């Protein structure tokens, strides 16, 4: 298990459409183990493979910072089946250090994915869990949380974004 560097805003891989995972090989298992360790070290709630520079449809959600009984969970080739409701919450992203924004997202999500064991599962999530899933799912399509900002909010962080992109 190794900590991998987290790719920051400005890196092209964050805008790529990630490819579906074929077989769950030992490389995929290693990647997921590394992503889980990287996410824990960074203290975030979620991490997509693109954020460690790998353009594959995998993300991890780990809510153990909020709920000590929570276990990190890997979602491979996920598919959003349903969303409902709407809620506003302050959101950040490990690829955007220092940028936080109140964003409205669905309050509930139903998602289908493969687990590391290759078996399909369906997860129902609410609140912050739902938000983390939807945020990470966006990463798989090259969508970033700043894309959900209003024009005004986006203008307010414009200088920070340019600085980030420059150092990427």
Identify which of residues 93 and 99 has a Cβ nearer to Ni ion in the complex: 93
Identify which of residues 77 and 131 has a Cβ nearer to Ni ion in the complex: 131
- Structural contact between residues 44 and 106, judged by C-beta atoms closer than 8 angstroms: no
Cβ neighbours of residue 93 under 8 Å, at least 6 residues apart?
99, 135, 144, 145
Q: How many residues bind to Ni ion according to rule CB under 5 A?
A: 1
Tell me whether residue 136 is one of the annotated catalytic residues.
Answer: yes
Identify which of residues 51 and 77 has a Cβ nearer to Ni ion in the complex: 51
3-state class percentages of the chain: helix first, strand second, coil last, to nearest 5: 35, 25, 40
Q: Cα separation of 22 and 10, whole Å?
A: 28
Q: Cα separation of 18 and 131, whole Å?
A: 20
Stretch touching Ni ion by CB under 5 A, among 14-22, 26-34, 92-100, 159-167? 92-100
Tell the smallest beta-carbon distance from residue 10 to Ni ion (Å): 14
> Which residue from 66, 63, 36, 52 is spatially nearest to 133, judged by alpha carbons?
63
Q: Cα separation of 90 and 99, whole Å?
A: 10
Stretch touching Ni ion by CB under 5 A, among 25-33, 86-94, 114-122, 123-131? 86-94
Of 7, 93, 99, 133, the one binding Ni ion (CB under 5 A) is 93
Tell the smallest beta-carbon distance from residue 136 to Ni ion (Å): 7
Tell the smallest beta-carbon distance from residue 11 to Ni ion (Å): 13
Identify which of residues 24 and 99 has a Cβ nearer to Ni ion in the complex: 99
Handedness of CA 99, 101, 12, 17 (dihedral sign): positive
Q: List the catalytic residue out of 27, 123, 124, 136.
A: 136
Chain residues in the site for Ni ion (CB under 5 A) = 93
- Residues taking part in catalysis: 136
């Amino acid at each position: 298990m190794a900590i991998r560097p987290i790719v920051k805003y400005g890196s092209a891989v964050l805008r790529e459409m990630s490819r579906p995972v074929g077989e769950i090989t030992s490389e995929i298992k290693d990647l997921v183990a590394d992503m889980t360790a990287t996410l824990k070290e960074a203290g975030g709630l979620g991490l997509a493979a693109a954020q460690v520079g790998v353009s594959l449809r995998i993300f991890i959600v780990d809510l153990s910072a909020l709920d000590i009984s929570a276990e990190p969970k890997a979602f491979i080739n996920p598919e959003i089946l349903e969303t409902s409701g709407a809620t506003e919450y302050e959101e950040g992203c490990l690829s955007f250090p220092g940028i936080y924004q109140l964003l409205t997202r669905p309050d509930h999500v139903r998602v289908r994915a493969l687990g590391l064991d290759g078996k399909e599962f369906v997860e129902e999530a609410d609140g912050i869990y739902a938000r983390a899933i939807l945020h990470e799912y966006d990463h798989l399509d090259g969508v970033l949380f700043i894309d959900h900002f209003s024009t005004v909010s986006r203008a307010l962080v414009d200088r920070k974004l340019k600085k980030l992109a420059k150092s990427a």
